[in-house]
Amino acid sequence: MKKLVFTFLTMVVFAFVANTTFAQSVYNNANVGATHEYIVDGLDGTDSWTFIVTLSTEDPYNGGTVTPADGTEFDFVNSETGSGATSASVQITWNTIGNYRVWIQVQDDAGCYNYRFIDVPVTDNNFNVEIIALGSGDENDSDISGFTEATTACPKFVGEEFDDEENDTEGNTYVYYKVTRTLDNASTSDWAFTPAISGSATVTLWESSVDGQNWSTVSTITDELVVTDASGTEDNVWFRATATNVTETQTDLTFNFGTSAYEVTGGIADQDDSGSNTATMTLSPLPQIGDFSGN
């Protein structure tokens, strides 16, 4: 029987490049929702292998009990079996808090088996992204960072003149939203989400701001939006929609990012996918005014 020499290599976060962070998911201390890749080197080119996930108190050899189930406590992202290479890898998404072991069972061409494992405690990530509507506004709103939640409002006036000779309706208004990231520990990881927009209001322009004061145009609001966070302090992003022709009938505008939010570097998904991931702003109609006349 030949001696099998193989080791777990450094595990990297699947699909993301690591940067400096204070607390985020790593391969051997993972967060719920994170995906990590586990790599084993030193195999013979004729070996076959199987990755197995157990509780930290369980052993898969000699008919031992294996409790965790693929698709429940965890998910194998790619195949957990393979052969004919000098290294093996598997990507695992962790779904449930617990103390686990990732095993590899290797069989060589002589029919002999060997095993290695690594312990992987999985804890709650407490990473959450929420959105609230902040009401309507106009060009006098120089700083909206202190605005609080408001889901119903009268339209304000953006770029409008009230000259009876020039205007039949009052036209445009701003609609504001605030998206907030929360997590238990500081992190310099970028975070991202993909909005879906719906409602009866017509929007001619979307803008974003990281301070509620300075605005940048969002070219396509339904593309994935990444909040760059090099300092660990960018936990909020504000959005401003310019809605047009909203004054004559009640209109609404919904900003929804569903289950799309995640922490970019750690690959950690938002674990709270409740109603806090959507916000609807309802704009009431304004009093109608006819033309001036006189005698």
Domain ranges of the chain: 7-123, 128-283
Query: Rounded to an integer, what is the distance from CA 220 to the centroid of its chain?
Result: 18
- Mean residue pLDDT of the chain comes to 83
What's residue 225's pLDDT?
Answer: 93
Domain 7-123 and domain 128-283 have a common topology: yes
Q: Please give the structure tokens belonging to residue 170.
A: 């009052």
Q: Please give the structure tokens belonging to residue 69.
A: 């189930």
Which residue is listed with tokens 């201390």?
A: 29
Average pLDDT (70-87) is 94
For 77-81, 178-182, 242-246, 278-282, which range has the lowest pLDDT when averaged over its residues? 242-246
H helices of the chain, where? none
Q: Percentage of the chain with pLDDT > 90?
A: 53
Separation of alpha carbons 49 and 43, rounded Å: 9
Q: 271 falls in which pLDDT band (50, 70, 90)?
A: low
Q: Please give the structure tokens belonging to residue 261.
A: 């939010």
pLDDT at 62 over 80: no
105, β-bridge pairs = 50, 115
Element containing residue 279 per DSSP (H, E): strand 278-283
Length of the chain: 295
* Cβ 68 vs Cβ 98: under 8 Å: yes
What's residue 84's pLDDT?
Answer: 92
Separation of alpha carbons 93 and 74, rounded Å: 6
Separation of alpha carbons 183 and 123, rounded Å: 13
pLDDT at 106 over 80: yes
For 21-25, 80-84, 160-164, 190-194, which range has the lowest pLDDT when averaged over its residues? 21-25
Q: 15 falls in which pLDDT band (50, 70, 90)?
A: very low
91 vs 265, higher pLDDT? 91
Domain 128-283: which CATH class? mainly beta
Element containing residue 92 per DSSP (H, E): strand 88-94
Q: 54 falls in which pLDDT band (50, 70, 90)?
A: very high
Phi and psi angles of residue 62, each rounded to the nearest 5 degrees, phi first: 55, 35
* Cβ 248 vs Cβ 101: under 8 Å: no
pLDDT at 3 over 70: no
Rg (CA), the chain: 27
Q: 77 falls in which pLDDT band (50, 70, 90)?
A: very high
CATH architecture label of 7-123: Sandwich (2.60)
What's residue 90's pLDDT?
Answer: 96
**Close Cβ partners of 275 (under 8 Å, ≥ 6 residues apart):** none
* Cβ 240 vs Cβ 198: under 8 Å: no
Could you tell me which of 2, 10, 13, 105 has the C-alpha nearest to residue 53? 105
Could you tell me which of 277, 5, 269 has the C-alpha nearest to residue 127? 269
pLDDT at 270 over 80: no
Q: 139 falls in which pLDDT band (50, 70, 90)?
A: confident
pLDDT digits (tens, 9 = 90+) for 85-98: 999 999 999 999 99
